[in-house]
Structure 1
């Protein structure tokens, strides 16, 4: 799917999300928890993340959602990580990880109740592209990121060549429930 189609699709999803003004990740999580009728906890990862380890993760248990993020990075990056995980949550993405015992050591009240774990490691699959687009759109709507360029022609080509604009994916559909 072309990135513009992915963007339009994800814009519809975030159009249903009650963005707070002024914006804060914590307030957005409070609103989403109320809308979903289940607690949503924001928790920093226990240590700074190293390359190859998650900088964020959405964990769904039987009774609550948990969003973990790297608290050792800039505030804007923290917000982006949190919004990315919220993207997974609102799209009801599913993990390809079968062995959830790997996540049982995380400090939550009942680690045996983990039903879904999506670590933020790769950006190549469709779910990751959707979550990344959702994060970008939420932060754009909140005024944390500049709106996308409307350049065309040669200037758009230069922007794309410099990595500032381009395709975001090849196919995705955000189905949330």
Structure 2
């Protein structure tokens, strides 16, 4: 994926990367996946898996040379899974680095397949609320607004947790 930089060479903002997608008035989730995949430069595969496979993780992005895979807990609501996917799209669009070699960060069931299966980058939604996570979350909120344009705009971070 091309690095999204502003005219002055700084990292692109969440608003800028979403604006560059030209989403229009309303899109479906499937259309959004296709648009983000095009910007990302490779297919995006979304897989729902049993939450026991990735406990405490609400979304996990695995990048391979041929595709990016987003793992989402099947037991979460559709709204929550879509938001978690949009958060991972934020990491992709902002070209965030992953955790490095995936083995130390993956649940035990994945440790033996990381390198062998060609996983180059891994990034999970983090409980560490740092700038990277905040920016990915800002992208997620902007993308969800495109999916649900008639929802009232929420300015309070606490209230957003109920969307």
**TM score, norm. by length of structure 2:** 0.72
Larger radius of gyration: 1
2:143 equivalent to 1:138: yes
Distance 2:81 2:39 in 1: 23
1:71 maps to which of 70, 74, 86: 74
- 1:113 aligned partner: 118
The residue that corresponds to 2:13 in the other structure is 9
Alignment partners' CA distance in 2, 1:142 and 1:67? 19
Quote how far apart the aligned CAs of 1:142 are.
2.4
RMSD: 3.4
Residue of structure 1 in register with 2:130 after alignment:
125
Going from structure 1 to structure 2, the CA distance change for 1:49 and 1:135 (only over 3 Å counts) comes to: farther
1:32-86 Cα distance to aligned partner (Å, 9 max, x none): 2234431111111x21259962110111112211111122111111110110000
Which of 28, 32, 55 is 2:32 aligned to?
28
Q: Match of 2:101?
A: 99
Q: 1:43–1:68: 8 Å Cα contact kept in structure 2?
A: yes
Q: Is the 8 A contact 1:26 1:42 kept in 2?
A: no
